[in-house]
Chains A and B, each alone.
Chain A
Amino acid sequence: MTIPELSHAIQSLGLMTYIRESGYTYPMIMSTHLACIGVFGGFILLTDLRLLGWALTDIPISTVINGLRVWKRVGFCIMFTMGFLLGTSEMDKYYANPYFQTKMLLLVTVAVHAIVFKPQVYDHPEWLDKAPRTPGVAKVAAICSLLIWIAIPCMGRMIAYYEPPKAQQVLSTEGDARNYSVHVSPTEAQERRLRISSDGRG
């Protein structure tokens, strides 16, 4: 089974088809995904900022890490589930999308980050409190985490802006579509622009 076939099989599953074709389910899932970025993603950033000594400065590192651990896990699970549903319901469009691929790669680096830094930084944050200055390893962990978690939602947003290579694309609003044998639907961003511009801007 090739990747295009596999992608098509995934998005053809009942649940994925339902999500893709539903009017409100898709934006509800996307809103939940974004709301989780707002609430729990903010917790990740704030933990990183605490490790760097830029936020929550008078609150011990261990208090911040231990207090937010369960919330970040809950948030990640919801965020991941919602993202999984969004991604798999549009698999045909996404599997070849370089932003989508980069986002998946970045999710792998989240796991790598955990494997590298969890034992030293996140599992035993008490020793970080005792150190006269926050140890370098904790700061490196924080900077890596910040970079990864800023890049992930940006890539997520950029997925909508990818335009497939010209040969496959229907260029025309001017009605020259018969010259293009493969019909590919417009990108999400183009669709949105089209929808929006249809009722006002002209």
Chain B
Amino acid sequence: MLLQNAFTDALSESDWAFALAECIHIGGFAIGVGSIALVDLQMLNLGMRHQTAARILRYTELWTVTGLIFVVFSGMVLFSSMPGVYLVNQVFPIKMYVLVAALIYNFTLHRKVAVMDNPPPLLSKAAAIVSLLLWVSIIFGGIFTGFLE
């Protein structure tokens, strides 16, 4: 099912390769999640003056996508070092389900509400809070994957 090749062997033997992938993972989510959170802040009316969530979204979207691509790919590299271990981990599969949910949510419902001209304030706020909770819980899931078997 999963390739075992020189690359993944190198990864599991060397702490350096694993550590580097972890650093890229952290940098990636700082940009990806940070730019989503910036849109959320605007939807909560706690962000920048005289700006709309739609504008913030438009000018950060490329960074969101770039960041998320880095996170996902570095995450796949980390996963490929010890797939069997991650698959039987108590937390990791839940993290993956929440991640898929968050990705779908971000580019469908969340986006739709963010670009609305005059969204009902309650809807806008709810959409932002759901988004923040999803992304933060994924980060928690990542740490707990390392602490629980």
* Chain A residues within 8 Å of B, Cβ to Cβ: 26-27, 30-31, 34-35, 37-43, 45-46, 49, 55-59, 63-64, 66-68, 71, 150, 153-154, 157-158, 160-161, 189, 192, 195-201
Contact = CB atoms under 8 A, between A and B. Distances in A.
B31 interface: yes
Contacts of B63: 46, 49, 55
A66 B27 contact: no
Nearest to A197: B85
B139 A56 contact: no
Contacts of A196: 82, 85, 89, 146, 149
Nearest to B142: A34
Given A67-B47, A200-B82, 7 more contacts: A27-B144, A37-B29, A46-B31, A57-B59, A59-B56, A64-B48, A66-B49
Nearest to B25: A157
Contacts of A37: 26, 29-30
A195 B26 contact: no
Given A39-B33, A58-B55, A195-B149, A67 B23 contact: no
Interface stretch (B34-42, B97-105, B106-114, B120-128): B34-42
B139 to A, nearest CB: 5
Interface string B66-97: 01000000000000001011001100000000
A38 B51 contact: no
Contact of B147 (A27, A38, A64, A198): A27
A43 B88 CA distance: 35
Contacts of A27: 143-144, 146-147
- The 6 residue pairs across chains A and B that have the minimum distance between CB atoms: A42-B34, A67-B48, A38-B33, A31-B140, A31-B143, A27-B147
A160 B26 CA distance: 15
A168 B110 CA distance: 53
Contacts of B136: 35, 38-39
B19 interface: yes
B80 to A, nearest CB: 13
B47 A200 contact: no
A133 B132 CA distance: 35
Contacts of B31: 42, 45-46
B33 A63 contact: no
A180 to B, nearest CB: 21
Tell me which of B46, B49, B62, B147 has the highest count of chain A C-beta atoms within 10 A of its own C-beta.
Answer: B147
A58 B55 CA distance: 9
16 contacts: A26-B147, A31-B143, A34-B26, A37-B30, A41-B34, A49-B63, A58-B55, A59-B51, A63-B51, A153-B26, A157-B23, A160-B19, A195-B149, A199-B149, A200-B85, A201-B82
Nearest to A56: B59
Nearest to B145: A196
Contacts of A56: 56, 59-60
A198 B85 CA distance: 9
A63 B132 CA distance: 22
A60 to B, nearest CB: 9
